[in-house]
Amino acid sequence: EVENGIVAVFSESEGRLQMIVTISGEHKGVSPNANHLVKEFSKLVDGSGGGRPDFAQGGGRLPQDKNLFLSKVFEIIETSATK
């Protein structure tokens, strides 16, 4: 259990990328929110998603370069957190 943080989980299901993002503790209710993050992550994989500020889910195509995808995920989180 994470009491204070941002958790992003990615998995492969039936040849597609699935994702969930949850925000807890002091991060809840401030930027970035889970809905925004899932929408941005989904753009990277030609997908879609959304949800609430504290929990969102989405999906898209499997990224060809998983390391590049993850580096962009971290970049989005860092950029969003500084806004």
Predicted confidence (pLDDT) per residue in 19-77, tens digit: 999 988 766 666 689 999 999 999 999 999 999 999 999 999 999 999 999 999 999 98
Cα–Cα distance for residue pair 8/56, rounded to 1 Å: 10
What pTM value is reported for the model?
0.86
User: What is the arithmetic mean of pLDDT over 12-17?
Assistant: 92
33 φ, ψ to 5°?
A: -105, 160
